[in-house]
A and B are shown apart, each in its own frame.
Chain A
Amino acid sequence: MSTTTTKTLSAATLLTGAMNRVHAAGSDIIKVGWLGCGGRGKGAIRQCLSADPGIEVIACADLFEHKAMEGREGLLKEPKYKDRVKIKDDHIFHGFDCHEKLAQTECDLIVMATAPAFRGRQMLAALRAPKPKHIFTEKPVATDVAGCRLVLEAAKIAEQKGLAIVAGTQRRHEFSRVELMKRIHAGQIGELVAGQCYWFGSGIWYRADSEGMSELEWQCHNWYHFTWLSGDQIVEQAIHDIDMLNWCFDGPPKKFMAVGGRQCRDYSEQAKQVCRKFNNGSDADWQKYNGNIWDHIFGEMEYPNGARCTAFTGHGPGTNRNGEKIIGTKGASDLHSTITGENPWKYEGPSVNGQEQEHIDMIRSIRAGKPINHGKRIAESTLTAIGLRTAAYTGRTISWDWLLNASKQDLVPPQEKLKPGPGHFEPISTGCDKLI
């Protein structure tokens, strides 16, 4: 913890600190609330349980009741977890406000893995609860600028209260990359002058099933395809690689420029099926159910030292690209395990699974009374991806300062409007949207 933080310690912080010291003893239990019981949530809760024998899951929550129920059942079936799954019936929550109910429980830590649109609200609810929580959050942590600001606020509160925020950008926890980055920051490849990051893959699921759901609930179920819910692919997925470049430069870019569009993403068959379901058998309006995210964004991030880096992202039938590269005046790195150039190096230590290690690092930090707080960093990397997306959607060159301080971009409906009912649809961007 930095010295400035220490100075701002409040009475509340001291109390929380006391709680952390209890954990520091190592013998006691960390009670976990599980928020978002979908695919990534199922992975994350298991990775959390595996990180430390003193973890117990005491509550779970999902938009859909059956998913929360199934989440508990699934855990109870696995011998290595079942003894530490202590979710009582009255600790299973569902609905659009399930994060608020979960925050009222006695858990110490919430593992957040819902669609990213709601993360800021979820974090603030967890931190402002009578018993404030540590947070593990999947990436990204927002889909719009307003959401990023909520997370920045959450990061400050967590710091004041001495609580952890760890994010699912697992590359930051892989030993090889940690060692590599130490060397890059020490100047082993010289001044950084260029970089590239890639996440171009073949595609993503489309969920046409909508049994028992309202339109808005179906949209949340099929969340990837709507910018307000997922942030678009560059935010939801490419953030991993974008975050690596931000790590290299030790902060976000100062300027964004991007082109992109939707040229081949097509779920017309399923979209028509969903359309008929919600429109009395008519599929005339099917295109809105096809989703409004793009299938490619090609952007440029300009970092404070003037270096311009490429972001190559999307989904399509062509050549898959993954990974990163950073180039300095004295060498280059694959940002995985090697450095080439004047001072070549290769990581030869043990390899770890970053998705497990991130939980291990988090729990250790909580037990040590020095909780990791990556809230600001993950908000910045999310905003970086949003900056690229916004540059592409609007055809404008966008500065970090404007985005962070002046943009009024706010895509997610207010909490009171989130209830089972009509969906929230926005048109596909034309590439010269109004800059908001």
Chain B
Amino acid sequence: MANRHSLTRRQFLRNSALLTGGLALGSVLPRSVWAAGSDTIRVGVIGCGGRGTGAAKNCVDSAPGVEIVALADVFADRLGALKKQFNVPDNRCFVGLDAYKSVLALADVNLVILATPPGFRPIHFAAAVAAGKNVFMEKPVAVCPSGIKMVLEAAQKAAEKKLAVVAGTQRRHQAHYIEAMKRIHDGQIGTLVGAQCYWNQGGLWVKKREPGQSDVEWQLRNWYYFTWLSGDHIVEQHVHNIDVVNWAFNALPDTVHSLGGRQFRTGPEYGHIYDHFGTEFIYPGDVRTLSTCRQIQGADHRVSERIVGTKGVANLDATNASISGEKPWKFEGKETDPYVQEHTDLIASIRSGNPLNEAKTVAESTLCAIMARESAYSMRQFTRNWFMAKCDLNLLPPADLKLTDTKPVAPVPVPGKYQLAGWVSEPPKKKETGKGKGKKK
């Protein structure tokens, strides 16, 4: 199943099954009206795994006049479900590490869904923008600062070309989050003085190495457990919650300090990523916030955000939003499926000629998560300015990567041994003089 974690999704569906059902039905009927129209959205899906398959269906359900017309994946076996469901012809199904290029070369494709493992996202996004495609891209959008810089650059180009870019940080499209944020930004909880956000969950899928698999093939199929592909779970998953706090503050943290490790999930099938992180982000004005994320079988779940102001507190999670304090409030409005809504908003923005461009925002939240990961791997506190200026970590896959390549699994990061890219240790402090034994002044 998708790494788009089913817990929240299920909760959502439980709460809004009727609404969603209605929406899906409504969106099916008028599609034929659009099919012949000139503003049909013709979608190419790049990355047809669990999430790509889900996103493609969400996209089709989101508005009339949407068609899935091309598919790309590294592995032929991943294309099957979408190919069958949307009747995509063989000559529009592409396989291999360069398959994305073939989709981007199709002139009739005017929207691409980027849903491969996140390590490839900067390259795919930049290529999609260069090809003039509108983009829906899953979060996170990079795994290293080099990737972030690529995405920020492409974000700028997308704006210049008036291309729409929407990211899979679906909380930004969820009515209860939007309503709560309006109130927070309106000052209803006063000045923000703290926050907490969490993605603590149990275990997750894993794919053991099959006989005959090359290093690269196994790592791609089991991509979650390799930092160059997933960014580690703090980037891959917790970015959602970090993004909400950034949204509430309308700012990015200046400083990060994180602790983390690999305590429970230590088998070789789990690659080299950590299973927990605890992070302090410091926002402008010395506002210190807490974040934790954990993937440990049997441990408690907690996926939520809490924003603390001088006049109240906002509590947010996948299904609810409320404010306590001087101006108490509880969301009681209508909710739609956010995984569909993000596509609805994207397509409406394309058709209206006012394209949304969320690339910078999602790149910034991804950056915060990457900073936290690097801080935990090294146990070092550093500033965002330092990170962007000096950290030259580059995990981008090489252009000549092949499925058959040998790629040893990088060691599990151990603070003290892990080299934080670009970090130069301060010279040891000068020893005080004049206090030594026997020395005369």
Spell out A's residues near B (CB within 8 Å): 190, 193-194, 196, 200, 257-264, 295-300, 306, 308, 310, 312, 314, 316-319, 321, 325, 327, 329-330, 332, 394-397, 429-432
Contact = CB atoms under 8 A, between A and B. Distances in A.
B299 A395 contact: yes
A223 B378 CA distance: 27
B183 interface: no
A429 B379 contact: no
Given A261-B262, A308-B306, A321-B257, A327 B193 contact: yes
6 contacts: A190-B310, A257-B198, A300-B290, A300-B292, A319-B257, A321-B257
Contacts, number: 143
Interface of B: 190, 193-194, 196, 198, 200, 257, 259-264, 275-280, 286, 288, 290, 292-294, 296-300, 302, 306, 308, 310-311, 313, 375, 378-381, 414-417
B296 A431 contact: yes
Nearest to A310: B290
A318 B378 contact: yes
Nearest to A263: B261
B288 A310 contact: yes
Given A431-B276, A431-B299, A296 B193 contact: no
A394 B300 CA distance: 9
Contacts of A194: 193-194, 288, 308
B99 to A, nearest CB: 38
8 closest A-B pairs by beta carbon, nearest first, are A298-B278, A318-B379, A395-B299, A261-B261, A194-B194, A261-B263, A263-B261, A317-B416
Contacts of B414: 263-264
A260 B288 CA distance: 19
Contact of B263 (A193, A325, A327, A431): A431
B280 A259 contact: no
B261 A395 contact: no
A296 B414 CA distance: 13
A396 B299 contact: yes
Contact of B259 (A298, A332, A395, A430): A298
Nearest to B259: A296
A194 B415 CA distance: 29
Given A257-B302, A263-B260, A396-B299, 10 more contacts: A259-B277, A263-B414, A264-B415, A264-B417, A298-B292, A300-B196, A312-B280, A318-B257, A330-B310, A431-B264
A290 to B, nearest CB: 14
B257 A308 contact: no
Given A319-B381, A330-B310, A314 B257 contact: no
Contacts of A319: 257, 379-381
A257 B292 contact: yes
B379 A316 contact: yes
B48 to A, nearest CB: 34
A327 B297 contact: no
Nearest to B275: A431
Contact of B261 (A262, A300, A312): A262
Contact of B381 (A261, A262, A321, A431): A321
A301 B262 CA distance: 23
A432 B416 contact: no
